[in-house]
């Protein structure tokens, strides 16, 4: 349950990452670390 909620949150969070290239790079590093 917790993992599913976290996955949904990460999907919504990463959906906001398409604004700028800098934010895309930041989200890529974040996804690798997580």
pLDDT tens-digit readout, 1-33: 567 777 777 777 666 655 666 777 787 888 888
Tokens of 33: 């670390």
Residues near 23 by beta carbon (within 8 Å), at least 6 away in sequence: 16, 17
The pLDDT, as a whole number, for residue 2 is 64
Question: Tell me, what's the pLDDT at 14?
Answer: 64
Say what the alpha-carbon torsion angle 15, 20, 22, 27 is, to the nearest 10 degrees. Answer: 0
Q: What is the pTM of this model?
A: 0.36
pLDDT at 23: 72
Residue 18: the pLDDT is: 57
């Amino acid at each position: 349950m917790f993992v599913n909620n976290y996955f949904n949150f990460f999907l919504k969070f990463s959906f906001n990452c398409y604004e700028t290239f800098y934010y895309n790079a930041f989200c890529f590093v974040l996804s690798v670390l997580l």
